[in-house]
Chain A
Amino acid sequence: MNTAQPRPRRLMGVLSGLFAALLVLAAAPGAVPAAHAQSKPFHWAADSSADVPYTFHDLKDQNKLTGFEYDLMQELSRHMGAPLDFINNDWDGLIPGLQRGLYDMVICGIEITDEHAEGIDFSIPYYVTSERLVVRRKGKQFTTLADLEGHKVGTIKDTQAERMLTNNTKISLSTYDEETDAFMDLVNGRTDAILIDGPIAKYYGETNPALHIVGAPIGRVQYGIAFAKGKNTELRERVNAALLAMQQDGSLHHILVRWDLWTPEMAQLTNDHTQPNVTPAAWNNYVAELQGKGGLRVKLERYAGFVPQLVRAAGLTLMVSLCAMIVAVALGLGLALLRLYGPRPLAWLAATYVELVRGTPLLIQVLFIFYGLPEFGISMSPFVAGVVSLGLNYAAYEAENYRAGLQSVAHGQMEAALALNMTHPQALRYVLVPQAFRLVMPVMTNDFISLLKDSSLVSVITLTELTQTYIRLSSAYFDYFGTGLMVGAAYLLLGLPFVRLARLAEKRLAMPHTRRR
């Protein structure tokens, strides 16, 4: 599957180090109370975002984790007699986090290669497989790499498969961050084949009616559990012993058959040529879950099943947006007032803030606040970080709104208030701000709707809001269309009441002369 080299996945390639820093802070409290050495849990990490069939969110219940590696770790825990706690981390942060001691081991389809062994220590292999070719059922049937010379082949970035393909210069290569994207392009004819690790070929290729696996297995791929280089030797030996025991007592075999991932290579490795009386239940479940694609009724039933998740995600989107808007309104007003009426250094600071925030992408700000600030000891939960970053960003825009609003209130209003012996702050509070607020009300509504949609950016900091839910559901079911419509509708439904509310408020608060019209 993937190599241990950080590969830029999603938007976070560069920020893996920052991510790791965050996890130091996030993981630290979890590992505190350990009365007895035996009961102290070990921590293992994986990227559970869409990695079928390794460790992923159950299609039926997105709050539940599953996968053959996940099952393997549960079994490993039993064999070691020690609790193992799971920590989710983005792919790019997995190895940096390991090296910084955020967790003890990583199991995420990491290939045992000489290059990797320079940076990390491996357990004995827990799984051996090969690369497989996946092609469209309709069209030319390539069965070997040689057949594919002069054609376009897709694979995942920085993998053994990619290296094989680069070695053959006659094959034109398309590399992807996400498995789903690679398979989507194959289905849509943008590539002619995919060369990829056996489990992925099976779970993404064989489950797709338009695709199938062809040809003989190519090469040999071994996965190992990764440990920080040179540390944790004792734990590694315990894990190795447990893995060996699992090979010998058949429990590993059992798990792999449940996932229908038992391979000839595994039989050779474990010298276990039995055929245990186990049904591939996990595989069957997964296929059955995907089968829903067929009939409209099944599809609709599945969509209905999404509703609770979407409602939860919409709730989170709404909470983040509302809290962020409150921050934006309060801070924006403060900035506008400082800029207009504050002492010069503060006015300058406010202006600089506005320019700085407006001049940089929101996404960078979100990542910086969540992953960057922990380096300076400012660590926030994803929710707080989301609210803070959106709030700080929108405050800049609100500040400019209010500034324009305040400036458009007639100059005479301030003079009249001062002549009545109000102080500047009193004049602002009772005379200017209420008028400016009414003037900018329509713009604020607009901004809130836009914030609601921009809140999708907080999905990069592990908040499972609407957009993140869309990514999960669509990539799990290969259904970008139906789920896309549902999520789009959810955003619309969230926004509409606010448009209505804002119109009502506009009418209520409107200047008397506009109200009379």
Chain B
Amino acid sequence: MNDPVVLSAEQLHKDFGEGEILCGVSMQVRKGELVSIIGPSGCGKSTFLRCLNFLEIPDRGTVTAMGVTIARNGGPWRSAEEHLAHRLRTHVGMVFQSFNLFPHLSVLDNVMLAPRVVKGGNAEADREEAMALLEKVGLAKVAQRYPVSLSGGQQQRAAIARALAMRPEIMLYDEPTSALDPIVAEEVLNVMRTLDDEGMTQIIVTHDMRFAEVASDTVVYMDGGHVIEAGPPEVLCVNPEHEQTRRFMRTVL
């Protein structure tokens, strides 16, 4: 636990106009750590995750990722902040519950699009790297197919490959297996385990308690826009400190 902190969030607040969804959420993530965020639906865990790469713009609070800091103080979102968010996102990849692959492009083109558009560079090298990533997630054979002809598990693995193509240091997953049946979900989780072994920093919002318990370095329990408690899974999942967490664990396990 002496690895450097690569991502930190301090006192994030978010209100969509119907009461605060995030009421001052803070978190620190170290390099190579795998963090699972759990909690009941509507507890703010997805919103928190989306605030980390500014897909959702927090009203107040500070996010620092790989040395890029964006502090919000309730003002309008300015273009200077948009530039910072752009810099921050070069370090942070994201995977969505509904995959969000680009349906008009083949799997390979899905993976190659962002490097080509954002970074430019050598098309041939991009292609090789994209194929290597697809190989890694077990999709080399379907590289030329369109997303719609893939199974859900395949689509989600393609989405991971697509995010990895931008060479992020941190990966965010927003309920990556919620739309999948347990068997194909396992394929996706295996990819995440491989990445963990390679030292990738990963933050996962999930309902999959088994994965959270077995694979995570840290589990965070959120409820009502607050982090209730955080700790290693063997503590948090088995013998949590707070009554609220204990009650949640009883219902899901």
Q: Which of B117-170 contact A (CB under 8 A)?
A: 117-118, 146-149, 159, 162-163, 166
B149 touches which one: A419, A431, A516 (CB < 8 A)?
Answer: A516
Q: For the complex, is B103 an interface residue (Cβ under 8 Å from A)? A: yes
Distance in Å from the Cβ of A459 to the closest Cβ of chain B?
41
Chain B interface size band reads: 20 to 34
B100 A410 Cβ-Cβ under 8 A = yes
Given contacts A412-B96, A426-B118, A516-B149, A421 and B166 within 8 Å (CB-CB): yes
Q: Which of B189-208 contact A (CB under 8 A)?
A: none
A416 B100 Cβ-Cβ under 8 A = yes
Q: For the complex, is B84 an interface residue (Cβ under 8 Å from A)? A: no
A419 B55 Cβ-Cβ under 8 A = yes
Stretch of B7-15, B86-94, B223-231 contacting A (4+ beta carbons < 8 Å): B86-94
Contact with B along A383-416 (1 / 0, CB 8 A): 0000000000000000000000000001011011
A422 B118 Cβ-Cβ under 8 A = yes
A512 B118 Cβ-Cβ under 8 A = no
B102 A416 Cβ-Cβ under 8 A = yes
**B147 partner residues in chain A, CB cutoff 8 A:** 512
**A430 partner residues in chain B, CB cutoff 8 A:** 113, 117
Distance in Å from the Cβ of A416 to the closest Cβ of chain B?
4
The complex places the Cα of A511 from the Cα of B98 at a distance, in Å, of: 18
Q: For the complex, is B252 an interface residue (Cβ under 8 Å from A)? A: no
Q: For the complex, is B53 an interface residue (Cβ under 8 Å from A)? A: yes
Distance in Å from the Cβ of A218 to the closest Cβ of chain B?
76
**A415 partner residues in chain B, CB cutoff 8 A:** 55, 96, 100
The complex places the Cα of A241 from the Cα of B148 at a distance, in Å, of: 87
Distance in Å from the Cβ of B60 to the closest Cβ of chain A?
22
B104 A412 Cβ-Cβ under 8 A = no
Distance in Å from the Cβ of A39 to the closest Cβ of chain B?
64
Q: For the complex, is A435 an interface residue (Cβ under 8 Å from B)? A: yes
A413 B102 Cβ-Cβ under 8 A = yes
**A422 partner residues in chain B, CB cutoff 8 A:** 114, 117-118
Q: For the complex, is A438 an interface residue (Cβ under 8 Å from B)? A: yes
Q: For the complex, is A423 an interface residue (Cβ under 8 Å from B)? A: yes
A421 B89 Cβ-Cβ under 8 A = yes
**B163 partner residues in chain A, CB cutoff 8 A:** 419-420
A421 B118 Cβ-Cβ under 8 A = yes
Q: For the complex, is A326 an interface residue (Cβ under 8 Å from B)? A: no
**A511 partner residues in chain B, CB cutoff 8 A:** 103-104, 148
A419 B94 Cβ-Cβ under 8 A = yes
**A438 partner residues in chain B, CB cutoff 8 A:** 104
Contact with A along B67-110 (1 / 0, CB 8 A): 00000000000000000001001100110101011111000000
Q: For the complex, is A434 an interface residue (Cβ under 8 Å from B)? A: yes
**A412 partner residues in chain B, CB cutoff 8 A:** 96, 98, 100
**A431 partner residues in chain B, CB cutoff 8 A:** 102, 113
The complex places the Cα of A513 from the Cα of B146 at a distance, in Å, of: 8
**B93 partner residues in chain A, CB cutoff 8 A:** 419-420
The complex places the Cα of A421 from the Cα of B147 at a distance, in Å, of: 21
The complex places the Cα of A512 from the Cα of B106 at a distance, in Å, of: 9
B117 A435 Cβ-Cβ under 8 A = no
The complex places the Cα of A421 from the Cα of B55 at a distance, in Å, of: 11
Closest to A429 in B: B117
**B104 partner residues in chain A, CB cutoff 8 A:** 434-435, 438, 511-512
Q: Which of A431, A435, A438, A516 has the most CB of B within 10 A?
A: A431
Closest to B87 in A: A421
Chain A interface size band reads: 20 to 34
Distance in Å from the Cβ of B6 to the closest Cβ of chain A?
17
Distance in Å from the Cβ of A439 to the closest Cβ of chain B?
10
The complex places the Cα of A270 from the Cα of B94 at a distance, in Å, of: 98
**B146 partner residues in chain A, CB cutoff 8 A:** 512-513
Q: Which of A230-263 contact B (CB under 8 A)?
A: none
The complex places the Cα of A435 from the Cα of B147 at a distance, in Å, of: 14
The complex places the Cα of A426 from the Cα of B103 at a distance, in Å, of: 17
B96 A416 Cβ-Cβ under 8 A = yes
Given contacts A430-B113, A431-B102, A434-B104, A420 and B118 within 8 Å (CB-CB): yes
The complex places the Cα of A512 from the Cα of B145 at a distance, in Å, of: 9
Q: For the complex, is A418 an interface residue (Cβ under 8 Å from B)? A: yes
The complex places the Cα of A431 from the Cα of B101 at a distance, in Å, of: 10
Distance in Å from the Cβ of B156 to the closest Cβ of chain A?
12
The complex places the Cα of A511 from the Cα of B146 at a distance, in Å, of: 9
Distance in Å from the Cβ of B16 to the closest Cβ of chain A?
15
The complex places the Cα of A412 from the Cα of B162 at a distance, in Å, of: 15
The complex places the Cα of A419 from the Cα of B97 at a distance, in Å, of: 14
**A420 partner residues in chain B, CB cutoff 8 A:** 93, 113-114, 118, 162-163, 166
Distance in Å from the Cβ of B205 to the closest Cβ of chain A?
14
**B55 partner residues in chain A, CB cutoff 8 A:** 415, 418-419
The complex places the Cα of A341 from the Cα of B94 at a distance, in Å, of: 23
Distance in Å from the Cβ of A25 to the closest Cβ of chain B?
44
Closest to B106 in A: A512
Distance in Å from the Cβ of B147 to the closest Cβ of chain A?
8
Closest to A423 in B: B86
**B113 partner residues in chain A, CB cutoff 8 A:** 420, 430-431
The complex places the Cα of A434 from the Cα of B110 at a distance, in Å, of: 14
Q: Which of B103, B104, B118, B163 has the most CB of A within 10 A?
A: B104
Q: Which of B16-66 contact A (CB under 8 A)?
A: 53, 55
The complex places the Cα of A419 from the Cα of B174 at a distance, in Å, of: 12
Q: Which of B86, B98, B114, B163 has the most CB of A within 10 A?
A: B114
**B117 partner residues in chain A, CB cutoff 8 A:** 422, 426, 430
Q: Which of A430-451 contact B (CB under 8 A)?
A: 430-431, 434-435, 438
B148 A513 Cβ-Cβ under 8 A = yes
Contact with B along A147-185 (1 / 0, CB 8 A): 000000000000000000000000000000000000000
**A418 partner residues in chain B, CB cutoff 8 A:** 55, 89
Contact with B along A500-517 (1 / 0, CB 8 A): 000000000001110010
The complex places the Cα of A37 from the Cα of B117 at a distance, in Å, of: 66
Closest to A410 in B: B100
Give me 17 other A-B pairs in contact (C-beta within 8 A), A420-B114, A423-B86, A512-B147 excluded. Answer: A415-B100, A416-B100, A417-B102, A417-B114, A418-B55, A419-B53, A419-B55, A419-B89, A419-B93, A420-B162, A421-B114, A421-B166, A422-B118, A431-B102, A513-B148, A516-B148, A516-B149
Q: List 30 A-B contacts (CB under 8 A).
A: A412-B96, A412-B98, A412-B100, A413-B100, A415-B55, A415-B96, A416-B94, A416-B96, A416-B159, A417-B102, A418-B55, A418-B89, A419-B94, A419-B96, A419-B163, A420-B93, A420-B113, A420-B118, A420-B163, A421-B86, A421-B90, A422-B114, A422-B117, A426-B117, A431-B113, A434-B104, A435-B103, A513-B103, A513-B146, A513-B148
Which residues of chain A have a CB within 8 Å of any CB of chain B?
410, 412-413, 415-423, 426, 430-431, 434-435, 438, 511-513, 516
Give me the 4 closest cross-chain CB pairs, A-B, nearest first. Answer: A512-B146, A416-B100, A420-B114, A412-B100
